[in-house]
Amino acid sequence: MNDPEQAAQVALEVQKAGYAGAKGNPLETRTWPLDLEAMEQSITCVAAIRQAVGPHFDILLDAHGSPSPELSVEFAGKVTPFRPLFYEEPMKLGSVEALLEVSRKSPVPVATGEKLCTPAEFKPLIDATACAYLQPDIAHCGGLTPYAFIARMAAEAQMLMAPHNAGGPLCLAASLHAGAATPNFSSRR
C-alpha cells in the first residue's frame, strides 16, 4: 500500500468481485525500524480504502512480521478508526511475551501463526492467549488433523481461527473444508 488512490481502487475492485474483505501490506516502504513517514503513508492508504468501500467490508492488514513491536503498536493505535478486522504478523514471531505485549497494547486484534508447523508450536501462544486470531496453514501444520487439534485448543482459549493459505487450489479447498468444520472459524457470513 503505497498510494491511497490505488489502494482504494484495488479494494473497490475486490469488493465489486463479490469478496467481503481484502488484505493489504502496510509499512512496507519503511527504511528504518521507526519510519514514521511510512507509517503515515500506510494510515492514509487504509483511510482511503475505508472511505471507498464503506463500513461493511473487512480490511485485513499483514505486516509479514517485519515491523518493530513499538512501530506496530503505534501503527495499530493510529489505524484503529478505520476498523481493520485484524493486524497479521505485527512483529517477528519468537517471543510469546513480546507478542502478548503487542497484543495487549494493540487496539486492533492481532493474528499470527502462518510460520508455525506443529500443535506444540501453537500451544504457548494459546496458553498465553497471545493473539486474537490463529493462522495455521494446512500445508505447514501437517494437514487437517493437526489443524483441528489446534482449532480445538484455540476454542478453549476463546481464540478465533483464520487459516493461512499460500498453497494454491488444493490447500484452499482443504482450508475451506477445515473452516466449515471449525466452530471458532472467523467468518462474517
Instruction: Report the C-alpha gap between 24 and 12 in whole angstroms.
Output: 13
Active site residue 140: no
H-only helix segments in the chain: 4-16, 36-53, 69-79, 96-105, 119-128, 138-141, 144-156, 169-180
Catalytic choice (56, 64, 140, 177):
64
Nearest to 66 by CA among 109, 32, 106: 32
Residue 108 sits at the vertex; the CA angle it makes with 10 and 89, to the nearest 5 degrees, is 75
- Bridge partner list, 170: none
15 CB-near residues (< 8 Å, 6+ apart): 22, 53, 57
Contact 44, 10 (CB under 8 A): no
Active site residue 177: no
Contact 96, 108 (CB under 8 A): no
Contact 45, 82 (CB under 8 A): no
Q: Would you state the torsion angle of the CA atoms of residues 178, 182, 188, 189, taken in this order, to the nearest 10 degrees?
A: 70
Q: Which residues are catalytic?
A: 64, 164
